[in-house]
Structure formats: structure tokens, C-alpha cells
Structure 1
Amino acid sequence: MIDIIVGARPNFMKVAPIISELEKRKAGGGRLRYRLVHTGQHYDARMSDDFFEQLGIPHPDVNLEVGSGTQAEQTGAIMTRYERLVMEKPGSLCLVVGDVTSSMACAITAQKLGVPVAHVEAGIRSGDWGMPEEINRIVTDAISDWFFTTSATANENLIKTGVSEDRMFFVGNTMIDTLLANMERLRRPRFWDRLGLQPGGYFVLTLHRPSNVDQGRQFAQLLRAISEGIRGLPAVFPVHPRTRKTLDALGFDAPGIHLVDPQPYLEFNYLVRHAKAVITDSGGVTEETTVMGIPCMTLRDSTERPETVTTGTNEILGVDPNAIRAALDRLFSHGWKKGGIPEKWDGRTGERIVAVLESLLPNDA
């Protein structure tokens, strides 16, 4: 029995192709079984329930319901509750995805109880220890047994830490599996007509990292630069709950920037697919824009996904408002680089992962 761990919004997109492939093989007589464990790290229905429904993910077998709290409080609650589950009903493998707190906490718990850990999206690094996600990545990789990677760069990062190549599997990107599988199902959000949106005639904005949104003055400067640089076109800003608090404190007023609720998967990626460009501080969004060929501007000083820059449509701008204005001027005046699609981002990653799992767990049932 494989425990597949989910807890936060990015996880759902990453596990969907793995679950789909497991179910497909099970119907054909495959022997691998799984238990879907939702930690409850994201407890808002808009941040989780919509994703289960839209992506065809079955309802969790277990929900640990940890809810809100500081990172330490959430980590402790996840470890305590997952430990209880594993002690009562142990599995043969703990499969964690990405770099959220749930992945790190469950990986630690599993290893201490003698359950091996496999990490999907292993080896990515930003080099920025100010990001909680970077700590989660490093810790999870330090205690994993097997590593599923999205790029050759991720493999190189793992080799530098002493991981042997026979424990690494370059399989591609499950987020892209999900995107490609749902491309024809993407749908307009309800506010499309109300905001007067037209394909190629608006921007998508996503900002949620504490370094960008928790400091009111810095946040206001970023929004002002974006508002001035989009030249009268609308910018749709799905607002993360953390960001909403800061905007309320600021008394938000940036012409052209339209605040909307967090969007379900199909609606959000419809917006991205038809945007003139995306301005973001999310790593996952840069992967989706790369595959869809949409210009992407990342408001960070580093990225854990360098292939979105070297191969894809993404550029790292930092957080200097003048750099943002300059990039927007360039977009309007000269266009943007076309980019390409990284190796193995082909929609078959889930298939490759499950094939490896079958070889690693010959007696699993």
C-alpha cells in the first residue's frame, strides 16, 4: 500500500496523473494499491475541494484535518496525526510531492517508522533559504530513498549532495501531465464578460510569497509599477488569502488591477492560456506558461525551475519596480521570446513514475 500525500493546492495537480495511471493499471490487473492521505494543510474549499472535483481525484481515504497555524504548528500536527495513522495501518511506501510542509512532515514521520520515502519533483533548488519551500525541499531530499526528477538540473543538484544515480529517475513533470490532459476542458471564469476580457488583451497576476506581499510599502510599489506598465489593459489578480489581508491593510487602489477570488484549476489556466502575459512569483505557474507559450515575468531574484528560463518563456525580473516597467515596455514594443518545452514534459510522467514504482515494490499489494 502506497501512501500518496497531499495537503496544499500544488499537490493536487501533481498527484492526479499518478493516481490516474495507478487506477488504469489496477483495472488491467495491476497489483499496486494506494491510500490518498490529505493532511488538511489547505482547508479552504476553494483551495482544495474544487481541485479534487475538476481533476477527477478520488476523495481522500484519510483526512488529517490539521487546519491553520504557524508552520511549526502545522508541521507538528501533521507529524503527530500521520504517525498515528502509520502505526495503526502501515504502508509500504510514503510518496510525497513538491515542497510543501505536508511533504516534509510526512517524509520525516515515515522514515522514523521505517517506511521508505519517494519524492516526486526532487532535486529542485532556488538557493534562497529565505523561502520556507527551499527548507522543505532540502529536508525532504535529505531523507528520501528514491527521487523522481523533472529535469537534468535537478539530477545534478542531487548528485552534488551524494545521491547515487541508481536512486534517481528523470521522469518529467506531472503538473504538465495534468495541464495537457485538461487543455480542452479549460473554461472561462464567470467574470470574463463582466471585466470585458479579450484573448491576448489582459494580464494575469499572481503574488503570494511573503517577501513580496507581507511588506506593505514594497507590495504597493510593485502594484503601482504593474498598474502603470500594463498600458490600460486589465490585469486579473486571483488573491491568495494571505495577500488579501495585506491589500486590505493597504487600502488597495491600483488602476487596472482587478481582484478576484482564488480560481479553480480549469478557470485559472483558461486565463493563463489566453493572457497577453503572466506576472507571478509562483514557480508552478512558470511551468504552465512555458508549455502554453505565454510570456512570463517572475518577481523574484531566483528560481528553482531554471529550465523555464533557459528553455521556456519565463524571465526573472527581481522585485525592482523599474525592472518591471522595463520588461512591460519591452513586451509591448518588441514582443517576447518564444521559448520551447523542456525534455520529457510530454504528458507521460505519471506513466513513467508508476512503472518505476512497480519495479521498486515487487511485492506490494
Structure 2
Amino acid sequence: MKILNIVGARPNFMKVAPLHRAFSQYPDLESKIIHTGQHYDARMSEVFFNQLELPQPHYFLGVGGGTHTQQTARTMLEFEPILAAEKPDAVLVVGDVNSTIACALVAVKEGIPVLHVEAGLRSGDRRMPEEINRILTDSISDYLFVTEQAGLDNLKRENVPDGKVFFVGNVMIDSLVHYRQKARQLTLLQETGLAPASYVLMTMHRPANVDHEQGLRSIVRVARNTAQHKTVLFPIHPRTLSNMEKWGLKAELEAIPQVRLMEPQGYLEFLHLMENAALIITDSGGIQEETTYLQVPCLTFRDSTERPVTVELGTNYLLRDLNPETVEAQVRDILAGNSKKGQVPPLWDGRAAERIATIIREKLR
């Protein structure tokens, strides 16, 4: 039995790593990794593959940047001959990036079963390209593996047959559980001269927040206000950095006392920083889940979230705009010890990939 696992962006690496590891436990299951190169930085990709103990991709498509249409089309064109050559028993896609829907479409048109891991998530905001990718991928997949109750509810509402849907837990948390002890052994905090809970960790990269001057100015003000309470560590995304430079805001950000800009971090380094932070300020999707498991307070700047369990059960707060005054009030409240006490959602126990491997072997036979 042969499965092709698709990765397109760094968050996919953390999801595919435990799956590849689980599949490799079975002699009758051949697992191959296809890296589309949708998001590709040679240094960072190498860091993530090495840290997550993934083999070098069996295929690298080199799709690169461009518009959503260009990325999707190039991925389909590059993936089709690989599918014809490999003749897999299934194609496994994760998450909601353009590579996910592109490879799912090619596989379906060739009659190859599609397995969607992290299925059923919905933000309700169709302005987000990721939301369209989620809906379309779920609608054409043969088996859907769900991380939280909201995913089950959404798929039922969309009339997906129960026999195609499996509540298995969260493979992103599998990676966190597997590498948590290794991340704890890093000396990054000592090197920065910081103690646990003495800093706020900040990441911002979504186009809605960083692709216009007003959003960037708000980010600078949020950083400045937060730095009055604690040191702010800001691993800055290349997109955010480029736009800060474009609008002449980088120097202003760098000049704020107690704000430390950092290069993008490897998986283990960022996990180390997350676990030891007093608070995380972000617009990321995956960080909402990781902080919920780590029980670290998280302020997420999004109009909506496709991961409601992180708000309902976890430590995530959804802030719908980057109003610096609102943010400062929330930051002050949390740092004063008034954050909610979250709990780990059901089946987020580090064994989701094992459940998926068991189901796939049963179903594909």
C-alpha cells in the first residue's frame, strides 16, 4: 500500500511528520513525501525537515510564489506526472493551503482516494482563500480526519456521510508532544538573557494585517504598548519585514526599548519560546492550537477562527481588530493573572497519527 503525503508550507511539515512516522511502523505501508515548494526557503525548510526527522522529500515540485491561481495551477501540472508514475493507493493532504486543494483535485480526477487530515474546520469567512480550500477539499475527499467537535458539526451540516468522517485528534499536537522535551533542552532563553514568563512572544504575517500601512502601524503600537509591561520577542516573518521596510516602519519598530526583532525560528526554537512565554500575540492558525495545549494565553488577531475549540476550551482570545488600546487593556489584564484557565481538548493526546494509520490500513484494504 503506497501513500503520497503532500506538504506545501512549513505548518504542513509538523502535520505530516507524525503521519509519516506512524505509517513507517507498518512494513506493508509505503509512505512518500511530495514537497510542492509552495512556500520555500532553503534554510528554513532544511531546518524543519531535520528537526522533525523527516526524510528528504521524494519529490520537490518547486512551485514557488505567485497568485493563488498560479500556485494552484502550477502544482496541479507538476503533480500530475508524479501521480501517473507512482500510482499510489491514496493521496494524503493536510490543512488548507493551495497545495492541498491542487493535489486533491488531481488525485480525484485520476480516481485515486484522497485523505484529508484536519478536515471540517470552518471560519465562516469566504474572503479567506484558506476557507475556500477547506470547503472544496472536504467536498471531494474520500476520508476526512477531524481535530475537534466543530469539525464534526460542520461536516454533518454539509451532509457529508458519517462513514467518511473520523474524529482522531490533532496531528499538530502529536509533533508538539513528541518534540516537547527536546525543545525544553534548548538554551535559547539563556542566550537571550530572559527568564521564563518574562516576555511576550509576537508573530504577525496575515495579509489582512500586514499588507497595508494602517495594519503595520497598529502592529508597531501594539508592540510598543506591550513592551511597557514585558520584553517583546518578535520573530518577524519575511512578508511583514518587507512591508515594514516598504512603509518606513522597520526603524521605528527596532527603536522601541524592550522589543527584540528575531529571524524566523526553527520548529524546536519556536516551541521553546512558546512554552516559556507569559503571553503570545499572533494572527496564526496553528499557534492557537499549540498554545491551547501548552496552556499559554494567546491573543489572536482574526475576524473569525476555524478552530473554535481553542476559544471555547483553550487559552485563545479572538480579537477582531488591531485596536492598540483594546489590545493593551487585554494584555494588562492577562499579565495581571486574570487569564482564563484552559483545558486540553479531547483526543489531543499525541496519538492522532496512530489512529489515522490504523483507519487507513483498515479502509484501503
TM-score normalized with structure 1 length: 0.94
Structure 2: which amino acid aligns with 1:289?
A: T
- 2:145 is matched with which residue? 148
Give the 3-state SS of the residue equivalent to 2:5 in structure 1. strand
2:170 counterpart of 1:173: yes
Q: CA deviation at 1:232?
A: 4.4
**How far apart are residue 90 of structure 1 and its match?**
1.7
Does the CA contact (< 8 Å) of 1:213 and 1:246 recur in 2? yes
Deviates more, 1:66-75 or 1:182-191: 182-191
Tell me, yes or no, if the aligned pair for 1:123 and 1:154 is still in contact at 8 Å. yes
Unaligned regions of 5+ residues in structure 1, if any? none
Cα deviation 1:142-162 (Å, max 9, x = unaligned): 111110000111011011111
Establish whether residue 19 from structure 1 lines up as the match of residue 16 from structure 2: no
Cα pair 1:226 1:324 within 8 Å, conserved: no
CA deviation string 1:120-141 (max 9, x = no partner): 0000011112222111111111
Aligned to 1:355: 358
CA contact (8 A) 1:225 1:321 kept: yes
Select 1:324's aligned residue among 318, 323, 327: 327
Q: Which residue of 2 aligns with 1:106?
A: 103
Task: Output the amino acid matched with 1:39.
Answer: T
Asked if the contact 1:46/1:264 (under 8 Å) is kept, the reply is no
Q: 1:355 is matched by which residue type in structure 2? A: T
Asked whether the equivalents of residues 148 and 353 of structure 1 are also in contact (C-alpha less than 8 Å), the reply is: yes
Contact 1:220/1:250 (<8 A) preserved: no
Q: Deviations over 1:312-338 (max 9, x none)?
A: 100101212222111012113343112
**Partner residue, 1:295:** 297
SS at match of 2:24: helix
Distance in 2, matches of 1:212 and 1:189, equals 31
- Give the letter for the 1:243 counterpart: T
What are the equivalent positions in structure 2 for 1:142-221 lying under 5 Å apart? 142-186=139-183, 192-193=189-190, 195-221=192-218
Deviations 1:69-126 (A, max 9, x none): 2221111110001011112332111100011111110001111111111100000011
Q: Give the secondary structure class of the aligned counterpart of 1:104.
A: helix
State how many pairs are aligned: 358
Deviations 1:22-66 (A, max 9, x none): 11223xxxx121221111112202432211100111111111111
* TM-aligned CA deviation for residue 229 of structure 1: 3.0
After the TM superposition, which residues 232-251 of structure 1 pair with which residues of structure 2 at under 5 Å, given as runs? 232-251=229-248
Map of 1:85 onto structure 2: 82
The alpha-carbon deviation at position 250 of structure 1 amounts to 2.9
| C-alpha contact 1:276 1:295 (8 A) present in aligned 2 | yes
Matched with 1:344 is 347
Distance 1:40 1:63 in 2: 7
Specify the SS of the correspondent of 1:34. Answer: strand
Q: Which moved more, 1:183-192 or 1:286-295?
A: 183-192
Within 1, Cα distance between the matches of 2:123 and 2:224?
28
Q: SS in structure 1 opposite 2:26? A: helix
Q: Following TM superposition, by how much is the alpha carbon of 1:261 offset from its aligned partner in structure 2, in angstroms?
A: 1.1
SS of the aligned residue for 1:228 comes to helix
- Counterpart code for 1:155: L
Give the conservation status (yes or no) of the 8 Å contact 1:46–1:263: no
Range moving further from structure 2, 193-202 or 135-144: 193-202
Q: Match for 1:269 among 268, 271, 287?
A: 271
3-state DSSP class of the match of 1:121? strand
Give, as a single letter, the amino acid of the residue that structure 2 aligns with 1:328.
V
Equivalent position of 1:304 in the other structure: 306
3-state SS, counterpart of residue 260 of structure 2 = strand
Distance 1:270 1:63, change over 3 A: same
- Percent identity reads 45
Between stretches 237-246 and 163-172, larger displacement belongs to 237-246
Q: What are the within-5 Å matches in structure 2 for residues 102-141 of structure 1?
A: 102-141=99-138
SS in structure 2 of the partner of residue 48 of structure 1: helix
1:45 alignment partner in structure 2 = 42
Segments of structure 2 that go 5 or more residues without pairing to the other structure are: none
Q: Determine helix, strand or coil for the equivalent of 2:265.
A: coil
Distance 1:192 1:217 in 2: 32
Change (3 A) 1:240 1:188: farther
Question: SS of the residue aligned with 1:339?
Answer: coil
Q: Tell me if the contact between 1:291 and 1:341 (Cα under 8 Å) persists in the aligned partners.
A: yes
Residues 259 and 190 of structure 1: is their aligned pair in 2 closer, same or farther, counting only changes over 3 Å? farther
Q: Which residue of 1 aligns with 2:94?
A: 97
